[in-house]
C-alpha cells in the first residue's frame, strides 16, 4: 500500500538534510496546507504535497520556506517524476512505462529521477524503429489560437484554454499546460466543439444552481 504521510525522518533521508531541518520543513509545509484549509497531521506531511513542493524547488532556509530558481526541464539532466510527465506529454502510467523501457530510471534513496539526456538519446536511437517513433515523438499542435491563460507558474509553464488541432486533426478546444509558445505541453484535455458546448452548458447550469441555493439560504 502506498504511504499517505512522511515523517521528518523520511524527509531527512530523502532530501539529504538533518532531521532538525526536516522537522522544520514539515512544520512549514503543514502551515501552508492549514492556511489552505487542508487537514494536517502533527509532525507529518502528506506525500502528494511534499512531492509537489519538492518538484517545484522549495527548500528550507532558516525558518523560511523559499523557492529556488528553476531551470526549464529541457535544460535539466535529472527530472522528477512530474517533470517527466510534462516533458513527454503522457499520462503517469504510460510515461513510467516508457522510462522503464528506455532504462533511464535512477533511484536515489527514496527518490526516483529520470535521466533526460539518456532518454533523449534513446528516443533518437529508436526513432527509426516501427512503433517507437510514434512513442518518442510528441504530437504537434497546429493552428493554435490562445483563448485565455488560466494560470502561470515561476517555471514558465502556463495553463491555457486554446483552440487548436493536433497533427492535422480536427479543431478542438484544449485545456492544458504549455511551455514557451507551444514548444512543450503537459497533460490536459481536448474537446470537440460539440463537447465544449456541452461542458459550457453544464458549467452554466451548475453555477446557476449554486447561486439559487445561496440566495435561498440567504433568505431563510
Q: What is the CATH number of the domain that holds 78?
A: 1.10.10
Same domain, yes or no: 19 and 60: yes
Give the sheet arrangement for strand 172-179, strand by strand: 141-152, 157-166, 172-179, 184-191
The whole-number pLDDT of residue 60 equals 45
Same domain, yes or no: 163 and 219: yes
Same domain, yes or no: 218 and 143: yes
The whole-number pLDDT of residue 129 equals 47
The whole-number pLDDT of residue 55 equals 67
Which of 113, 136, 159 lies at the terminal end of a domain, its last residue? Answer: 136
Q: How many domains does the chain have?
A: 3
The whole-number pLDDT of residue 219 equals 64
Same domain, yes or no: 63 and 77: no
DSSP string, 68-125: PPPPPGGG-SEE-HHHHHHHHT--HHHHHHHHHHHT-EEEETTEEEEEHHHHHHHHHH
Same domain, yes or no: 85 and 106: yes
Q: Give the residue numbers spanning the domain of 123.
A: 73-136
pLDDT along the chain (220 residues), means of 10: 76 76 85 78 85 65 45 73 81 84 84 86 72 53 82 82 82 84 76 88 88 78
Same domain, yes or no: 144 and 219: yes
Lookup result for grid cell 526513432: 127
C-alpha cell at position 28: 512549514
Same domain, yes or no: 58 and 25: yes
Same domain, yes or no: 61 and 80: no
Same domain, yes or no: 59 and 87: no
Which of 92, 118, 136 lies at the terminal end of a domain, its last residue? Answer: 136
* CA pair distance 80, 116, nearest whole angstrom: 10
CATH number of 168's domain: 2.30.31.70
Same domain, yes or no: 82 and 130: yes
Which of 108, 136, 164 lies at the terminal end of a domain, its last residue? Answer: 136
Same domain, yes or no: 195 and 217: yes
Amino acid at each position: 500500500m502506498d504511504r499517505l504521510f512522511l515523517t521528518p525522518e523520511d524527509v531527512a533521508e530523502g532530501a539529504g538534510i538533518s532531521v532538525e531541518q526536516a522537522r522544520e520543513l514539515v512544520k512549514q509545509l503543514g502551515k501552508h496546507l492549514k492556511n489552505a484549509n487542508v487537514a494536517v497531521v502533527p509532525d507529518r506531511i502528506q506525500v502528494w504535497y511534499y512531492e509537489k513542493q519538492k518538484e517545484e524547488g522549495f527548500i528550507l532556509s532558516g525558518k523560511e520556506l523559499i523557492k529556488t530558481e528553476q531551470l526549464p526541464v529541457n535544460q535539466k539532466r535529472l527530472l522528477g517524476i512530474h517533470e517527466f510527465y510534462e516533458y513527454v506529454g503522457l499520462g503517469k502510467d504510460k510515461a513510467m512505462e516508457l522510462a522503464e523501457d528506455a532504462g533511464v530510471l535512477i533511484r536515489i534513496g527514496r527518490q526516483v529521477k529520470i535521466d533526460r539526456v539518456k532518454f533523449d538519446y534513446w528516443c533518437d536511437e529508436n526513432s527509426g524503429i516501427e512503433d517507437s517513433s510514434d512513442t518518442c515523438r510528441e504530437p504537434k499542435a497546429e493552428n493554435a489560437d490562445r483563448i485565455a491563460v488560466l494560470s502561470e507558474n515561476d517555471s514558465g509553464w502556463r495553463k491555457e484554454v486554446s483552440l487548436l488541432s493536433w497533427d492535422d486533426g480536427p479543431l478542438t478546444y484544449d485545456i492544458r499546460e504549455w511551455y514557451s509558445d507551444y514548444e512543450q505541453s503537459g497533460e490536459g484535455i481536448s474537446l470537440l466543439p460539440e463537447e465544449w458546448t456541452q461542458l459550457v452548458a453544464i458549467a452554466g447550469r451548475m453555477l446557476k444552481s449554486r447561486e439559487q441555493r445561496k440566495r435561498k439560504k440567504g433568505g431563510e
